[in-house]
Amino acid sequence: MATKPSFAGFAVRSLAVWLVMIVILVVVPDALEQWMAIEIARVLGWAVACSVWVVAVESAWKARYGPFARFGLQIILWVSAAMIAIWISDQFRVDVGI
C-alpha cells in the first residue's frame, strides 16, 4: 500500500509546479504573440500550464483532497498564477501607441 508523501514534500512540489506554470504563462503567450492575438496566446499558455499541473501533481492532490476542496484550492492557485504572469508580462510590454 502506497503512503502519502509528507505535507512538506507535497507543498514544495506543488509550489515548484506553480512557479513553472507562471513561467509558462509568461513565455508561451509572449512567444506566440507575433502570430496571434495576445488573448489567444494566453489561452494556449493556460492550456499548456494546466497540462503540466495535471501531469506533475494532480494525483498527489487527488490523494489528499476531495473534489470540492481540490477545485477551490486549485482555482485559487491557477488564477493567481495567471494574474502574476499577466502582471510580469505587462511589465515588459512597451506601449507604442499604435
* Alpha helices (H) in the chain, listed in sequence order: 7-32, 38-64, 67-92
Domain that residue 49 falls in:
16-91
* Per-residue confidence (pLDDT) for residue 98, from 0 to 100: 44
Binned at pLDDT 50, 70 and 90, residue 82 comes out as very high
Give pLDDT tens digits for 22-77.
999 999 988 888 899 888 998 999 999 999 999 999 999 999 999 999 999 999 99
d(CA 25, CA 48): 8
Please identify which residue in the block is written with the cell numbers 485559487. Answer: 76
Q: How many domains does the chain have?
A: 1
Is 21 a domain residue?
yes
Grid cell, residue 69, equals 476542496
Is 8 a domain residue?
no
> Nearest CA to 26 among 95, 94, 97, 91?
91
pTM, rounded to two decimals: 0.83
Is 10 a domain residue?
no
